[in-house]
Amino acid sequence: MKDLEQDEALSYATVESPLGPILLAGTPKGLRIVCFLAGDDPIAPGKAWREEPPLFAEAARQIAAYFARELTGFALPLEPEGTPFQLAVWEALRAIPCGKTLSYGELARRIGKPTAVRAVGAANGRNPLPLVVPCHRVIGADGSLTGYHGGLAIKERLLALERGDWFA
Q: Which residues are catalytic?
A: 135
Closest CA to 147 of 72, 39, 32: 39
Q: Are the CB atoms for 43 and 35 separated by under 8 Å?
A: yes
CA distance 114 to 80: 24
Element (H or E) spanning 60, and its range? helix 57-67
The dihedrals phi and psi of 33, each to the nearest 5 degrees, come to -140, 135
